[in-house]
Structure 1
Amino acid sequence: MSQPAFNALILAGNRREGDSVASLTGVSHKALAPINGIPMLLRLYRTLRASAGIGDIYVCIDDSSLLDGIAELALARDSGRLRIVPPAISPAASLGLAMDRIGVARPLLTTTADHPLLSREMVEYMLRAAPQDAELCVGLAEADTVIAVYPDAIRTFYRFKGRRFSGCNLFLARGDGAKQVAAYWQRMERHRKKPWRLVWEIGPIALLRMVLGGLSLDDAFAHVSRLTRTRIRPVLLPFAEAPIDVDKPEDYRLVSAILAKREGAA
């Protein structure tokens, strides 16, 4: 049997200011919120365990005792199948700290615990499609792919040369170079819901090209690669559900309906 080629990390830290989905479902951490009876974090763990190529699975969470109330996760933690790493002050800082703790012997696939629609097919597609020479790959979905199936999904789309894209909370880091991107991301992430501010951080020339419609997706990634001195590449995922996470109560209701339909068909 071939050895697993990738490790996986689930970011499950809690928001310091509280979370509307956690409040809605009556749990202390959004990662523990049940959707169709199954906690989101457990869904992510099961998906990664089932995905070909994934070896060790880590979760970045505030307190490992939070898993005590979910028997399958507690057993995975106690047996070493699910390993705990501490969170930092932000997702980017948590990723940087996790890479220091886990090491870079294997590439690290990172996702978030509020992405219960993540499927084995999405994970394996990301691992196959990621360019081998890239130090960081970022999963994206084109707006047309999402809207064709879920026209009412509320997403943040970034426009590049007439095309729009949304992030999929899926990243693949290879080698020490990815740590430089995590450090840069810490300065960027406060603008993730504000596309124009985000591009301004990248640089005024890039902003001007975006305003004029001349900045393509490849241009943007090449520019950030130069800024970070790291090879960063996009991976376009052909799955309408790939960028739909559970950030707000409206998302929770949409994802609940999607999962009910998916699991009912299964």
Structure 2
Amino acid sequence: MPKDNRAPAACQPLLPAIVLAGSRPGVDPLAQAAGVATKALVPVAGRPMIDHVARALLAHPAIGEVVVMAQRAESLADHPQTAWLRAEPRIRFVDSGSGISQSLLDWMAGEDARLPALVTTADNVLLDGAILDAFLAGAQGADVAAAMVERAVLVRAYPQSRRTWLKFRGGAWSGANLFWLGSERAANALRKWREIEQDRKKGWKIVSAFGPLLLLGAGLRLLSVHRAIAAAGRRLGAGEARIVPLPVAEACIDADKPDDIALIERIIAARGTA
């Protein structure tokens, strides 16, 4: 297993990291095209997605246990290139429940859970030490946090990459698949998001969760992304909610489409880390 030579801060406990590696309902087109059972096993630069992410997390000096969460989590180690996950003492497999929010709530309620914790996804293939450093430095002290990349950061480096942008006052932002559960108050946000997940076709549920003034302010771009997430955290009872802006363009390039995978493989080849 690759090791990172940077030393963690003195007396600072290691963080658990949760990798969301489950499947959405229906057939995943990337998994189907690759002939594998689930998206987390789709090969990128010759290795399954989950292999890239797990190795990046285990190599970081701030990370302790890595929890792989999926519908049949341990089956992800049945692949020849991921069999090492089963033998790695810092890897723990946890079967997920009905939806991401409920699965994280179930984990938080378990005896082995420890906060703060990092959450990422199995398709976050370009995750590395620099991205983790930037996020962890910005998330410390928050009850809940999410990493995002501003559009100008990505466009300067990879103008061909197409992402979904959330527009706020002062910029447009894309998610970076990194989240922070800083305290028990994060459970309040997860419970509210669980309600939205269950009734996502009912627009009034979203309005009731975030409030009409907050949605209007964000929709009209009267609020910056930082003010919007801070207000949302208070509204949801989640304490201090924070956006962590990342200066690394690769942080928001996840493997959602064939074009994404082609770009990721070019980046990995340029890094020489395949």
Q: Which runs of 5+ in 2 are unaligned?
A: 1-9
For residue 70 of structure 1, what is the aligned residue in structure 2? 80
Q: Which stretch has the larger CA shift, 200-209 or 55-64?
A: 200-209
Residues 179-235 of structure 1, C-alpha deviations (whole Å, 9 max, x = no match): 11112222445899xxxx967862321232234331111221122112211121111
CA distance in 2, matches of 1:191, 1:226: 22
Q: Which amino acid aligns with 1:261?
A: A
1:105 to 114, 130, 136: 114
Aligned to 2:233: 225
Mapping of residues 112-191 of structure 1, within 5 Å = 112-132=121-141, 134-188=142-196
1:88-125 deviation per Cα after TM superposition (whole angstroms, max 9, x unaligned): 23222222222223655331100000110111111122
1:176 shift after superposition: 1.1
Structure having the higher helix fraction is 1
CA contact (8 A) 1:5 1:106 kept: no
Q: Give the number of aligned pairs.
A: 259
Q: What are the ranges of 5 or more consecutive residues in structure 1 without an aligned counterpart?
A: none
TM-score when scaled to structure 1?
A: 0.88
- Is the aligned partner of 1:256 residue 2:269? no
> Which segment drifts farther, 241-250 or 252-261?
252-261
What SS is found at the alignment partner of 1:60?
A: strand
For 1:34 and 1:227, the matched residues in 2 are separated by 41
Structure 2 residue aligned with 1:234, among 223, 234, 243?
Answer: 243
Distance 1:213 1:81, change over 3 A: closer
Structure 2-normalised TM-score? 0.85
Q: What is aligned with 1:209?
A: 217
Classify the secondary structure of the residue corresponding to 2:96.
Answer: coil
Q: Which moved more, 1:111-120 or 1:92-101?
A: 92-101
Q: 1:211/1:81 Cα in 2 relative to 1: closer, same or farther (>3 Å)?
A: closer
| Residues 189, 254 of structure 1: alpha-carbon distance in 2 compared, 3 angstrom cutoff | farther
Q: 8 Å contact 1:104–1:176 — kept in the other structure?
A: no
Aligned alpha-carbon RMSD (Å):
2.4
